[in-house]
Structure formats: structure tokens, C-alpha cells
Chain A
Amino acid sequence: MTPDVFLFLSAFLASAVEMVEALTIVLAVGVTRGWRSALLGVGAALLGLAALVGLLGPSISTVPINTLRVVVGALLLVFGLQWLRKAILRASGYKALHDEEAAFAREREDARRAGSEVRAGVDWYSFTVSFKGVFLEGLEVAFIVITFGAARTHGVALAAAAAGVALIVVVAAGLVVHAPLSRVPENALKFAVGLLLTTFGTFWATEGAGAHWPGDDAALPAILGFLALSSFAAVRALRGRRAALAGARA
């Protein structure tokens, strides 16, 4: 697997996971209060995110490559480890799994109870909730697109294309199902994204710090394999510990 395929896959999976969560919020608001204002909020958020990537993407690539790689590597590591840590805690039962059905029900109840304030013909609640949902979930995607783009030639275009494909897939699935995508294995996807982000972070941070990988880009699958094995071992150990604690309490 080439680094570009890795990069595309990472951006696609990260985008898809975040978009599934954003879709739940928009669906709940749209179904409960009407679609016009909710979709206006989505459009405004997507424009904001595109502007962010458009502004930061090209300007960041003027920084010297080694400085950039160390900064991007550090950010991806901190970010990727957050995803991986949560995914491992969820997989081992130390943290509750994200439930899209429950989130949908909660958002619908909030949308039903919220008062009606119309500004310039727009239902302000629907607009702001949809905007915030899409913008905040999308911010992580924008962050990944920018950092990938900064450390690799054509990275922004490739990562942005992956995010675009994810958007089409998730919106199409949402239109077909017309309900929250609760069957998507979110934790497995988050686990994969955490692993991929941490792999790229490890690779670039090391190169940025001046060290060289044996085999250059060919080291990426080896890093991924090492991190995956370590993470599965952590899940196993934490599950065992949880079962032992439960056994001791019984």
C-alpha cells in the first residue's frame, strides 16, 4: 500500500466517521423542525470549512519541510492518540460506545422543546444547531486535511478528495436510510483512524526530528502493524483487568 493510498484511506475514514455524527444532528433537526433552515446551516458550515482549508492549506506549505513535518507529526500524534485511546477504552468496556440512535432521540427531543425564533425567514435554532454540528465535526476533518497536505506533495488535494467522497457516501446513505446510520461500526472505524493518524504522526515526527526510517515510505506498514498489535494487546489486557475486577467484586 503506497503512502498516498494510506493518506486517502485515513482522510476518508476520519471524514466518514465525523460525517455520520453530523448527519445524526442534521437529520434530527430537519425531521423535527423542517429542512430549509437545517440545510442552510449545513451549507454555511461547509463553506466555512472549505474557506479554512483553502486559506490555511496553501499558506502552511511555505514553511520549511522538516519544521513542518515535526509540527504536523506532533499534532497528528496528539490527535491520533486521542482517537486511539478512546477507541481502546470503548473496545475494552471502560467507556460507553457511541449510540447514534440515542443521540438522534436526544437531539429530536431538544429540537422539539426549543422555542421558535425566526430571523430573516430562517428558523434560528435549526440553522445554528446544524451549523455547529457540521462545523465542529468537520473541524477535525479540516484539521486532518490540512496537516496531511502540509507534509506531502498534493496532500491537501488528495485528503480533500477523500473527504469529498466520504461526504457523498454518507449523504447518499442518509438519503436512502432516512434515519441515523446506527449500523455503521463507528468504534471500529475510529480505531482504524486512530491507528492511521498515529502511524503518520510517528513517521513524520521522526523524520522531522532528523532521524531516517529504514526503507523510507516502506516503514509505514511496519509502524501501522506495530501500533495495531500494541493496541489489540492493550484491549485484551484491559478486558482481562475489567473481568478480574468484576470477578473480585462478585
Chain B
Amino acid sequence: MTRLVAFARFWYEFVVGDDWRVAVGVGAAIGLTALLTSAGVAVWWLMPLAVVATLFGSLWRAAGGA
């Protein structure tokens, strides 16, 4: 069991890393892009903006916030 937990933890840290909110932000941006695209809206611009917003949020938290 301990090895299984260690294995899962290794992959979590390897893929997700220090800030899980980045992964959540990326997932939300992809979901929103898919949703708006299926509704016929051209949203190629959404992902770059969402990526930068997610990055800035993560940096702000890492730098100690307000």
C-alpha cells in the first residue's frame, strides 16, 4: 500500500507539480473552449489568455500574494 501511495504521489508531483490550481485552470480553459466552440463561437483566443491568467495567478501566490 505504501509503495502504491508513493507511486501515485510520484506521478502527481511529476505531472501536476507545486500548484494544483494550474492543472485545474488548464482543464477549465479547455472545457470552456470546447463548450463555446460547439456553440459556434470562434474562441481560439481564449486559451492563450487563460494560460497567462493561470500563470500569473500561480506566480502571485508563489510570491506571497498581496
The residues of A with any CB-CB pair to B shorter than 8 Å are 70, 73-75, 77-79, 81-82, 84-85, 88-89, 92, 94-95, 139-140, 198, 201-202, 205-206, 208-214, 219, 223, 226-227, 230-231, 234, 238, 241-242
Do residues B58 and A206 form an inter-chain contact, with CB atoms below 8 A? no
The digit string for B18-54, where 1 denotes a CB below 8 A from any CB of A, is 1100110011011101100110001110111001101
Task: Classify the interface of chain A: helix, strand, loop or mixed.
Answer: helix
Do residues B48 and A202 form an inter-chain contact, with CB atoms below 8 A? yes
Pick the most buried of A82, A95, A214: most chain B CB atoms within 10 A of its CB. A82
- Known: A209-B33, A230-B55. Contact between A81 and B63, CB under 8 A? no
Do residues A81 and B51 form an inter-chain contact, with CB atoms below 8 A? yes
Q: How far is the CB of B54 from chain A (nearest CB, A)?
A: 7
Interface size of B in residues (CB-CB distance below 8 Å) = 32
Q: Which residues of A contact B18 (CB under 8 A)?
A: 82, 85
Do residues B63 and A238 form an inter-chain contact, with CB atoms below 8 A? yes
Do residues B48 and A89 form an inter-chain contact, with CB atoms below 8 A? no
Instruction: List 11 contacting pairs A-B, 8 Å CB cutoff, sorted by A.
Output: A70-B30, A70-B34, A77-B51, A85-B22, A85-B55, A88-B55, A205-B29, A210-B34, A210-B37, A213-B44, A227-B52
Q: Which residues of A contact B8 (CB under 8 A)?
A: none
Given the complex of chains A and B, what is the CA–CA distance between A190 and B50 in angstroms?
Answer: 22
Given the complex of chains A and B, what is the CA–CA distance between A234 and B54 in angstroms?
Answer: 12
The residues of B with any CB-CB pair to A shorter than 8 Å are 14-19, 22-23, 26-27, 29-31, 33-34, 37-38, 42-44, 46-48, 51-52, 54-56, 58-59, 62-63
Q: Which residues of A contact B31 (CB under 8 A)?
A: 209
Q: Which residues of B contact A226 (CB under 8 A)?
A: 48, 52
Do residues B51 and A227 form an inter-chain contact, with CB atoms below 8 A? yes
Q: Which residues of B contact A78 (CB under 8 A)?
A: 15-17, 22-23, 26
9 A-B pairs with the lowest CB-CB distances in the bound complex, closest first = A210-B37, A209-B33, A209-B34, A82-B17, A206-B47, A230-B52, A77-B26, A211-B37, A211-B44
* A85-B62, A201-B51 given; 18 more Cβ-contact pairs under 8 Å: A73-B30, A74-B30, A78-B22, A82-B22, A85-B59, A89-B62, A95-B62, A198-B51, A206-B44, A209-B30, A210-B33, A212-B44, A213-B44, A230-B52, A230-B55, A234-B55, A234-B59, A238-B63
Q: Which residues of A contact B58 (CB under 8 A)?
A: 81, 85
Do residues A89 and B44 form an inter-chain contact, with CB atoms below 8 A? no
Given the complex of chains A and B, what is the CA–CA distance between A85 and B19 in angstroms?
Answer: 10
Residue of A nearest to B15 (CB): A78
Q: Which residues of B contact A210 (CB under 8 A)?
A: 33-34, 37-38
Q: Which residues of A contact B38 (CB under 8 A)?
A: 210
- Known: A78-B22, A78-B26. Contact between A84 and B14, CB under 8 A? no
Given the complex of chains A and B, what is the CA–CA distance between A95 and B59 in angstroms?
Answer: 11
Given the complex of chains A and B, what is the CA–CA distance between A212 and B33 in angstroms?
Answer: 11
Do residues A238 and B59 form an inter-chain contact, with CB atoms below 8 A? yes
